Amino acid sequence: MGKVAVVATVVVAATAVAVATVVVRRRMRSGGRWSKAEAVVRELEERCSTPAGKLRQVADAMAVEMHAGLASEGGSKLKMLISYVDNLPTGDEKGLFYALDLGGTNFRVMRVQLGGKEARVAKQEFEEVSIPPHLMTGSSHELFDFIAAELAKFVANEGEGFHLSDGRQRELGFTFSFPVRQTSISSGTLIKWTKGFSIEDAVGEDVVAELTKAMERQGLDMRVSALVNDTIGTLAGGRYVNKDVVVAVILGTGSNAAYVERAHAIPKWHGLLPKSGEMVINMEWGNFRSSHLPLTEYDQAMDAESLNPGEQIFEKLISGMYLGEIVRRVLLRMAEEAAFFGDTVPPKLRIKFILRTPDMSAMHHDSSPDLKVVGNKLRDILGITNTSLKTRKMIIKICDIVAARGARLAAAGIYGVLKKMGRDTIIRDGGEKQRSVVAVDGGLYEHYTFFRECLKSTMTELLGEDVSETVALEHSNDGSGIGAALLSASHSQYLEVDES
């Protein structure tokens, strides 16, 4: 063999060795990256762990905080607000009632014709109105004038099938989903605005008085007979359909719970005990916190960077506003520490709240063989292309961990409320069997199937098979709208006239 041939052979061999070495190194690096990524997910799983024993501790802590919040103002992280709702709908309500639901950038107006036990909700109509952005930061006068004008237009179109009894004033249930210090069933002062509203001169004012003055300026003869928040409305709407409803839970963008308490079990209540002997309590449970909650570094960082650090800790673990963001933070750490998506961190992955919970839910529910939905979401939202099936499966696993923790903690919260009420057993104090229904509303519960099913199975796990047969979770769609109209009926100024 000539010298040239020998050199060529040596070069080819050397090149082959070099290529092989690069491939091996790449594989080793890839293997190293993968094991680092797996370690991040393993650690997440350990930190998010919610065994039944831990959930029982969370439930017990919830019940303890409920007692403390009922005993005194500021006695607990749970506000346990007295709603002044002492009569929930019975189904006997009759007449025409209105509702106004203000809780965001839109508000809804609704009218309902109630026909008593036989006809129930005989007819209902509603309209949704967008609030012009400048009114969200203007004056109280301007906002309430706009709302009252739209309400007056809606009343003017009262058509067939709606009848107001002679000589009666129209009555309205007002769902106002902002923090309010309630002073009676039909009055409450605004503590602070949220959700993009910032109207300084309304803070500290009675929102019912503001609305009433605006209605008078419009020449609209209408009385606000009930001021409620969306959770109380959900409870009322649920009770109207099913007399066994005793708790309402919102699992949507945010989270809250309300329940029926015995009036004599509220030490901070100093008024006359209501005739019904009951009082609905708005827990504001999103603010619950306990050393038993399984918090991770992702939760702590998200809380520290939030608009309300140290507040709404429970809500930040279980509600739709935050689940997708927790998943994003885990993926970012994997991209930074394990080069999970390649050598550079995808820039969009650094954008807070870019991964919304509905997108997380769509990925989680992907049943295609190649997890196509996961691939598309990563590409369209985060700009991450060419992901392997192995990578997509890992992302499903992260969704599993975060959603399961949220659902199981929400179940522990509900279990704690039932425990406080003495409804975690089959037999009541009096010896008779009891059935308890929890009315649940909110997009997270309605649309995130894995979350909903996990919540239900965890309730069974905590209650046990026998008791769980007497406790039901029922979807109460749009309780807050119709619930407000029903509460205006059950707290009508004409109630005693009708009963006599």
pLDDT for the residue 21 = 45
Question: Which of 4-8, 49-53, 236-240 is least confident?
Answer: 4-8
Phi-psi label, residue 312: left if phi above 0, alpha if psi -120 to 50, beta otherwise: left
Contact between residue 91 and residue 240 where contact means Cβ atoms under 8 Å apart:
yes
Rounded to whole angstroms, how far apart are CA atoms 172 and 488? 6
Average pLDDT over residues 351-379: 97
> Percentage of the chain with pLDDT > 70?
91
> Percentage of the chain with pLDDT > 90?
76
Name which residue leads in pLDDT, 279 or 6.
Answer: 279
Confidence of residue 22 (pLDDT cuts 50, 70, 90): very low
Contact between residue 177 and residue 234 where contact means Cβ atoms under 8 Å apart:
no
Average pLDDT over residues 154-163: 90
136: which residues sit within 8 A by CB, 6+ positions away?
105, 143, 196, 197, 198, 199
pLDDT for the residue 31 = 65
Name which residue leads in pLDDT, 317 or 158.
Answer: 317
Among 176, 123, 170, which Cα is nearest to 151's?
Answer: 170
pLDDT for the residue 320 = 95
Amino acid, res. 58:
V
Each residue of 248-285: pLDDT tens digit? Answer: 999 999 999 999 999 999 999 988 889 899 999 999 99
Contact between residue 235 and residue 247 where contact means Cβ atoms under 8 Å apart:
yes
Contact between residue 461 and residue 52 where contact means Cβ atoms under 8 Å apart:
yes
Name which residue leads in pLDDT, 182 or 8.
Answer: 182
Is the pLDDT at 14 greater than 60? The verdict is no
Task: Give me the sign of the Cα torsion angle 47, 443, 236, 83.
Answer: positive
Rounded to whole angstroms, how far apart are CA atoms 66 and 288? 10
244: which residues sit within 8 A by CB, 6+ positions away?
435, 436, 437, 472
Burial group, residue 397, by CB count within 10 angstroms (0-12, 13-18, 19+): middle
Confidence of residue 307 (pLDDT cuts 50, 70, 90): confident
Rounded to whole angstroms, how far apart are CA atoms 436 and 238? 12
Among 14, 473, 485, which Cα is nearest to 248's?
Answer: 473
pLDDT for the residue 118 = 78
Question: Which of 14-23, 25-34, 429-438 is least confident?
Answer: 14-23
Each residue of 87-146: pLDDT tens digit? Answer: 899 988 999 999 999 987 889 999 999 988 877 888 999 999 999 999 999 999 999 999
Is the pLDDT at 403 greater than 90? The verdict is yes
Catalogue the active-site residues.
Answer: 195, 230
Report in angstroms the alpha-carbon separations of 468 from 115, 423, 425, 438, 463. Answer: 34, 11, 9, 12, 5
Which residues are paired to 130 by β-bridges?
106
DSSP-based three-state secondary structure for 117: helix
Find the DSSP H helices in 351-473: 357-364, 372-382, 389-420, 443-447, 449-463, 465-468
Each residue of 36-90: pLDDT tens digit? Answer: 999 999 999 999 999 999 999 999 999 999 999 999 999 999 999 999 999 899 9
Is the pLDDT at 19 greater than 50? The verdict is no
Confidence of residue 366 (pLDDT cuts 50, 70, 90): very high
Mean pLDDT computed over every residue of the chain: 91
List for the chain the helix, strand, coil content (%; round to 5).
50, 20, 35
